[in-house]
Amino acid sequence: MLWRFRREIILLVCLFFSVAILKATHVWKAAGVQSVRQIRENIPIVRSEMALENDRLRKLLALKERREPFSRVVAAEVVSLQPSVFPGEVVVGKGRKDGIEANMTILSTDGYLLGRIVELKEDCSRGVTIFHTKSKVSVLIQGTRDLGVLEGGAFPLLTLKYLKKESAVSVGDTVITSGFSDFYPKGVPVGTVRTVEKVPREFFLKVQVAPYAGSGNFEEVALGK
C-alpha cells in the first residue's frame, strides 16, 4: 500500500516536471522566433545606416581629393559636441600624432565652413564653430563682393554685420570666406543670405545668414590646412 502511494507521488512529480519542461520549451521557441523576427526587421535599418555612412565617407574622400583652397585635408570622426544642436564646440578624434595643427579649418562632409581647431592633444582636438558666441568670420557676398563679419551666438540664422545700406545684397546671395583672416582661406562656402532689412537711422543693414553647415551631419568632419 505504501509503495503504491509512493509510486503515485513519483508519477505526479514526473508529470509536473514534464509539463514545466514543455512550457519552457514553448517559451524558448517563442523567444527565439521573436528574436529572429526582430533581427529581420532591423536589417533594413542597419543597411540604411551603412549606406548613409558610406555616402558621408565618399563625400570626405572627394573633398580630400579636391582639396582646394587647402593644401591638405584630413578626415576626422567627431567625438563630442557641445551642445548637440548647432554646436559651439566640437571635439574630433585626431590630434598632434595625426598631424593636426592649431587653427586648421573644420569643414562639414560637404565642404562647408564649420569652424577651426583651437586646442590640441595627442589623440584628439577641440574646435570652436561658427555657432559659438565668440565666433567672428570675415566673409564676402559672392555676387556683390561686399565685405562683412559673420557673428555666432544666434541660430539657426547667424548675423552678418557691417554691410552698408547702399549694398546690393539680396536674399539668396551666397556667402563665402573673404580670405582677409588669419584663420580661413578665401572661397570656403559659408551660407546664403536669408533676410535683409534696412533699419531707420542705422548706418548698416541688418542681415541674417543661413549657414550651410547648420543642416548637415556632425558625425564626421574634414580638417583643412
Using the 8-state DSSP alphabet, how is residue 153 labeled?
A: S
- Domain assignment present for 152: yes
Q: For residue 218, how many C-alpha atoms fall within 13 Å in the half-sphere facing its CB? A: 23
Q: Structure pTM?
A: 0.71
- Residue 11 pLDDT greater than 90, yes or no: no
Task: Grade residue 154 by pLDDT with cuts at 50, 70 and 90.
Answer: confident
The C-alpha cell that represents 189 in the structure block:
562656402
Q: What is the pLDDT of residues 174-187, one digit of tens each?
A: 999 999 988 899 99
Q: Which of 129, 126, 107 is nearest to 224 (CA)?
A: 107
Q: For residue 105, how many other CB atoms are within 10 A of its CB?
A: 23
User: Cis (ω within 30 of 0) for the bond into 185?
Assistant: no
Residues 6+ positions from 208 with CB-CB distance below 8 Å: 154, 157, 158, 159, 160, 193, 194, 195
Can you name the residues that pair with 136 across neighbouring β-strands?
Answer: 151
Question: What is the mean predicted confidence (pLDDT) over 147-171?
Answer: 93
CB 194 within 8 A of CB 212: no
Q: pLDDT value at position 1? A: 46
Q: How confident is the model at residue 5 (pLDDT cuts 50, 70, 90)?
A: very low
- Other beta carbons within 10 Å of 159: 15
- CATH code assigned at 168: 2.40.10.350
Amino acid in the structure at residue 128: V
- Tell me the average pLDDT of the chain: 80
Our count of domains for the chain comes to: 1
pLDDT band at 2 (very low <50, low <70, confident <90, very high): very low
Contact indicator for 191, 212 with CB cutoff of 8 Å: yes
Are 16 and 8 within 8 A, CB to CB? no
| pLDDT given at position 4 | 46
Residues 6+ apart with CB under 8 A from 58: none
> What pLDDT shows up at residue 77?
92
Lowest-confidence region among 42-46, 85-89, 148-152:
42-46
Answer whether residue 150 is part of any domain. Answer: yes
At 195 the pLDDT is 96
Buried-state track 76-93, b at ≥16 Cβ within 10 A, e below 16:
bebeebeeeebbbbbbbe
Nearest one of 110, 116, 203 to 164, comparing CA atoms = 203
Within a domain: 41: no
The answer to whether residue 1 sits within a structural domain is no
- Is position 84 within any domain? no
Residue 173 structural domain: 136-215
Residue 174 lies in a domain: yes
pLDDT digits (tens, 9 = 90+) for 47-75: 554 555 556 556 555 555 555 678 888 98
Residue 198 per-residue DSSP state: P
